[in-house]
A and B are shown apart, each in its own frame.
Chain A
C-alpha cells in the first residue's frame, strides 16, 4: 500500500508552477552526457577489479537433447582456471529462475531445450583461458526430435518441452506445449459477419527480431566479507533480478547487493537474467571478483528475442466503410522457456484489433513452448506483431471498398470512450484520426531526389554505393499505419515504484537528491527525474544518485512505464518533501506573515512563495545547514485487473499510447532492393516532459520498426532449431544509410489520470513503423507481402 496514505492510483494533480529553470517541459540535457562523450561513463563491460577473474559460459551446440555426460577434468587441469561448475555444483535446491514461471535452469539439468543453453561455467585469469577451458569440457548429447512450430508442438504425440508443468497457466491451455492462451470474445462476430458487405482474410508471418542493444550482457560480481556478493550489472529491473538471483545462491536478499552499471541499451532484452547468477556463483566459489562479458555471438544466445508470430485475420466491413467484426488468431512462438510469453499473449490479444471501433470480436492468442530460441520482451511486445497484421488488413479492406486507406482508418478510429475488445473503456484522449491526419498532411519528400547536375547520386538510391541503379526500375510507394500500445504493466500486476527524495542546504544552497532503483538504459529517465525535482521543489541543484537495491523497487524499465511510474514516484516523494518543508516554514515563520496559513504556497527559485508570487522566505532560511528533509515512498498508478480466462473481459490496462506513420519508399523492382526515403511520425505524448528526449525516443523506436520491416530477422533452421545468423554480419540492423529522415509531429493531449498528463512513449512508434513501410512497398510493387521482414526475393519472386 502507498506509504503516504493517498488512495490507490490517485494522480498527483498538483503541478508546481514550472517557472524554476530546468523543470519539466524543457529540453534539458542529459546529466550523463559529458561522461558518455568522453568515454568515462562506466558500462557494465567496463567494470574492473584488482585480482578479478573472467567467467565464460559453455552453451549447448544442439537444440534439444539429453545430456549423457559432462567431463570437466581437462578444463579444470588447464593452468589459469580457478573453477568449473555444472548443475551438480549449484548450492541450493533452487536451480531454476524466470520472470513469471521459474522454468529456466541456471545450468542445464540432464537436458537442453534450445541451441545455446548454458551447460557449464568457467572462471579463469584471462578471458581466452576461460574460453579455451570451456571448449575442453566434454558434453555428450543424445539428440531428441525438435519441436519448432504449432503443428509439431501440439501434435498428440508431441514431445513435451517441459514435463510435469505446475504453473498457473497449465489449467487453461489445451496442450502442455502451450504456455498461455487468451481468448477475447465480445458481441457476436459470426452474426456481425453476416452484415458485412466485404470480408477480407489474411495470414501473416512476423519474423524473429533481436533487440541488438550494443552494450553486451556483462557485469562484475565481487564477493563480500559477510559471505554475500555485490553485483555491478546492466539490467532493466534491479529488484526483479535480485528476487531471482538470491534464492539460487542460497543468500538472503540483504546479502546480494546490486548496483546498476552503465547500460548500453536494453529494448526488453535485459528483462530476463543473463550472466547475473553465473558471475555470482563463480565469485562465491572462487572468493574472487568475476567479470563476464558476452561477445556478440554469445549475446544472440544470451537473451530472449521478439516472438515470431503467425497471425490469421478476418475483417468485415459494410459498403459505407464501417468495420463489422474482426476475428483473429495469433500464434506466438515463445521458444524453450516462458520468459514474458504470458504478458505478450495478453497484449497481442487485448490490442489485437488495433485502435479501431469494433463491437464484435473473436480473438485468440497463444504462446507456444518449442525448441526455438526463447522469446520474451522486446519494445512493444505483442502489440507490434498484431499491428503488422491488422494494418495490412485495414489496407486490404479499404482497397476492397475502393476507399482511401487513411480515410477508412479515420472512419473507424477509436476515440475517448471507445471500448476495447476487453470491454474496457479508453478513458483518456485517443486522437487516432488526428494523428493520421497530421502525418498525412506533412509535405512529401520530392521525387527523384537522386538526380543532380553530375548525374545520379547513387547514395540516394536503392542499392546505394553498390551502384546497382541510376533510377531504372525504381518505383515510389507510400503507406500509412497507426497503432495502439498499452503503457505500464497490465492485468492486475502491482506496478509500483519507489523514490527517495531529500532536501537540504549545502554550502548555502538548497539541494535536492533523488534516489531510485530505476534502470537508466539510455531513455533519459535520469534527465526527467531531475526536471521533476526542480519543478516540484523549486531548486536548481538536483543530484541523481546511482540506482541500486538500497532503495525500494522502481519496477522495470519496460512497457513505456518509467516516466509515468517512477516519474510519478519522484513527483509524489517531492510533494511529500515539500509539505514537510512548508511545515517547518510555518513553524518558524508562520507568525510573521498571515499568508503562511492562508495562501497556496509554492517552492520556486529557491524560495517559498505564495501562488500570487509573494516571497515569504528563502529555502536556506527554512532549512538549517544541518537539517534535512527526506522521504522514501512508493507510488502506484490506478490498479488493473486480470482478463477473464474465457471471455477476455476486464479492465486490464492502465494507459494507451498512439502513434501513426507515413512511409515513403523507393523500390528497385528488378533487384528487390528497398530504400526508405522518409518515415514520418505523429504521436500523442500527453505531455512532453523533455521534448528533445521525446523526439529521440520516437525516432529510435521508428528505426527499430524499420529494421524488422526490411532486414532484421534471426533465422532458425526448422530442421535443427539452430540459429543460423548470430552476428552483426548476418543479422542486419539499420545503419545511418538505411535510415531515412524521420520528421516527428508531437501532440500533447493530457491524460488526466497520469502525472502531468504524460503518456509513456517509447514503444508506440515501434508498432506502426513496420506496417507503414510494408504498406509503402505494397503500394510501390502491387505485391501482397504477408510476411515481415521483406527480403529481395519476396519482391522479385526469384
Chain B
C-alpha cells in the first residue's frame, strides 16, 4: 500500500508498504529517518517516541496505515519544531538559535573553546532541549535520547515550569539504561530554566 503523511513539515509518500509495518519501520527503513529508535518494539521503552498530530506516541505501536494524512514530528525535526514554536511565541533571545560551534569542546562550565573533533555535527541547529541534554551530560549511549527528547519537549510545551515529580511522571514511559536518570532530570530542569529566561 501507499501511505501519505507529513513528516517534520514535509509531505512524504511511502510506497510498497506491507500492511503489518509499523510507523517506526516506515520512518527508519523507508524514509531514511532512523533517529526514532527500535529498543523494544513493544511500546515499553519509549525510544521510538514521535509526535502524531502533536501527541507523543510510541511509533512502534502505530501501524503505518494509521499515519495516513497525519502530521508527524520525529527527533530529526525537533529543532525546526522548537524554532517554529519560538517564532509563534516571539522568542527573540537566540536561545533557540544555532548550537555553538564549539559544542564538542564546551565545558559544563560553559566556557567556549574552538572544537573541531571530526564528525561531531557541530554547527547543527538544535532545539533547547537537545542542547540541554548535551550540556547536562544526559547523553551516554544515546539510544534512549531521541525518544526522551521528543517526550520532554512535548512536556515543556504543556508545562513550562515542571516540578521534579511532573518531570518524572511525564518521562516515566521512557527507559534509560545508562544514566540513572539524574542527568536527564538536570537536562530538563536546565531547558525549563533557559526557556524561562528566554520569555
Complex Cα gap A40–B78 (Å): 12
Q: Which residues of A contact B167 (CB under 8 A)?
A: 736
Residue B42 at the chain A interface, CB threshold 8 Å: yes
- Identify A214's interface contact among B109, B121, B141, CB under 8 A: B141
Residue B145 at the chain A interface, CB threshold 8 Å: yes
Asked if B168 and A737 make an inter-chain contact with CB atoms under 8 angstroms apart, the answer reads: yes
What is the minimal beta-carbon distance from B130 to any residue of chain A, in angstroms?
Answer: 4
Q: Which residues of A contact B175 (CB under 8 A)?
A: 214, 728, 733, 735
Asked if B126 and A34 make an inter-chain contact with CB atoms under 8 angstroms apart, the answer reads: yes
- Contact (A34, B99) CB under 8 Å given A214-B45, A699-B179: yes
Complex Cα gap A546–B172 (Å): 34
Complex Cα gap A26–B109 (Å): 9
Q: In residues 169-199 of chain B, which contact A (Cβ within 8 Å)?
A: 169, 171-185
Asked if A29 and B104 make an inter-chain contact with CB atoms under 8 angstroms apart, the answer reads: yes
- Identify A296's interface contact among B33, B39, B109, B134, CB under 8 A: B39
**CB-CB nearest in chain B for A459:** B165
The interface stretch among A7-15, A381-389, A521-529 is A521-529
Complex Cα gap A128–B22 (Å): 12
What is the minimal beta-carbon distance from A627 to any residue of chain B, in angstroms?
Answer: 20
What is the minimal beta-carbon distance from A54 to any residue of chain B, in angstroms?
Answer: 9
Residue A696 at the chain B interface, CB threshold 8 Å: yes
- Contact (A34, B103) CB under 8 Å given A214-B144, A739-B181: yes
Residue B114 at the chain A interface, CB threshold 8 Å: yes
Asked if B134 and A742 make an inter-chain contact with CB atoms under 8 angstroms apart, the answer reads: no
What is the minimal beta-carbon distance from B9 to any residue of chain A, in angstroms?
Answer: 15
Among B33, B36, B124, residue most surrounded by chain A Cβ atoms (within 10 Å):
B124
Asked if B182 and A42 make an inter-chain contact with CB atoms under 8 angstroms apart, the answer reads: no
Asked if A39 and B36 make an inter-chain contact with CB atoms under 8 angstroms apart, the answer reads: yes
Q: In residues 105-163 of chain B, which contact A (Cβ within 8 Å)?
A: 105-109, 111, 113-122, 124, 126, 130-131, 133-135, 137, 139-146, 149
Complex Cα gap A543–B116 (Å): 7
Q: Which residues of B contact A522 (CB under 8 A)?
A: 140-142, 178
- Contact (A36, B104) CB under 8 Å given A267-B177, A735-B172, A736-B174: no
Interface size on A, residues (CB 8 A): 78
What is the minimal beta-carbon distance from A488 to any residue of chain B, in angstroms?
Answer: 21
Number of A-B contacts (CB under 8 A): 245
Asked if B126 and A29 make an inter-chain contact with CB atoms under 8 angstroms apart, the answer reads: no
**CB-CB nearest in chain A for B146:** A39
Q: In residues 12-45 of chain B, which contact A (Cβ within 8 Å)?
A: 18, 20-21, 28-29, 32-42, 44-45
Complex Cα gap A459–B164 (Å): 10
Asked if A696 and B181 make an inter-chain contact with CB atoms under 8 angstroms apart, the answer reads: no
Residue A43 at the chain B interface, CB threshold 8 Å: yes
Q: Which residues of A contact B115 (CB under 8 A)?
A: 22, 31, 540-541
Q: Which residues of A contact B42 (CB under 8 A)?
A: 295-296, 727-729
Asked if B121 and A736 make an inter-chain contact with CB atoms under 8 angstroms apart, the answer reads: no
**CB-CB nearest in chain B for A129:** B18
What is the minimal beta-carbon distance from B198 to any residue of chain A, in angstroms?
Answer: 19
Asked if A692 and B137 make an inter-chain contact with CB atoms under 8 angstroms apart, the answer reads: yes
- Chain A facing B: main interface SS: loop
Q: Which residues of A contact B76 (CB under 8 A)?
A: 38-40
Asked if A702 and B106 make an inter-chain contact with CB atoms under 8 angstroms apart, the answer reads: no
Asked if B143 and A126 make an inter-chain contact with CB atoms under 8 angstroms apart, the answer reads: no
- Identify A22's interface contact among B33, B44, B105, CB under 8 A: B105
Residue B74 at the chain A interface, CB threshold 8 Å: yes
Can you list, as one digit per residue, whether each of A19-42 has a CB less than 8 Å from chain B (1) or not (0)?
001100011111111111111111
- Identify B107's interface contact among A27, A37, A736, CB under 8 A: A27
Asked if A736 and B168 make an inter-chain contact with CB atoms under 8 angstroms apart, the answer reads: yes
- Contact (A34, B134) CB under 8 Å given A39-B34, A524-B140: yes
Can you list, as one digit per residue, whether each of A253-292 has a CB less than 8 Å from chain B (1) or not (0)?
0000000001111110000000000000000000000000
- Identify B180's interface contact among A27, A45, A702, CB under 8 A: A702
Q: Which residues of B contact A48 (CB under 8 A)?
A: 29, 32, 34
- Identify B177's interface contact among A524, A691, A733, CB under 8 A: A733
Complex Cα gap A702–B180 (Å): 7
**CB-CB nearest in chain A for B108:** A27
Asked if A38 and B75 make an inter-chain contact with CB atoms under 8 angstroms apart, the answer reads: yes
Asked if A728 and B44 make an inter-chain contact with CB atoms under 8 angstroms apart, the answer reads: yes
Q: Which residues of B contact A293 (CB under 8 A)?
A: 38
- Contact (A39, B33) CB under 8 Å given A22-B113, A214-B144: yes
- Identify A459's interface contact among B74, B143, B169, CB under 8 A: B169
Asked if A128 and B20 make an inter-chain contact with CB atoms under 8 angstroms apart, the answer reads: yes
Asked if B108 and A215 make an inter-chain contact with CB atoms under 8 angstroms apart, the answer reads: no
Residue B47 at the chain A interface, CB threshold 8 Å: yes
Q: In residues 710-742 of chain A, which contact B (Cβ within 8 Å)?
A: 727-729, 733, 735-737, 739, 741-742
The 9 closest A-B pairs by CB, nearest first: A39-B35, A522-B141, A36-B142, A264-B143, A699-B180, A703-B180, A728-B44, A46-B34, A27-B108
Please give 13 more A-B residue pairs, beta carbons under 8 A apart, in addition to A29-B107, A216-B39, A265-B177: A30-B134, A34-B120, A37-B134, A38-B130, A39-B36, A41-B142, A42-B34, A264-B141, A511-B116, A695-B137, A695-B182, A699-B180, A699-B183
Q: What are 23 A-B pairs at a CB distance below 8 A? A: A21-B113, A29-B105, A29-B108, A29-B134, A29-B137, A30-B104, A31-B104, A34-B103, A36-B139, A37-B134, A43-B37, A45-B34, A213-B177, A214-B40, A214-B177, A296-B45, A541-B115, A695-B137, A699-B180, A700-B140, A703-B179, A736-B171, A742-B182
Give chain B's interface residues, CB within 8 Å of chain A.
18, 20-21, 28-29, 32-42, 44-45, 47, 74-76, 78-79, 99, 103-109, 111, 113-122, 124, 126, 130-131, 133-135, 137, 139-146, 149, 165, 167-169, 171-185
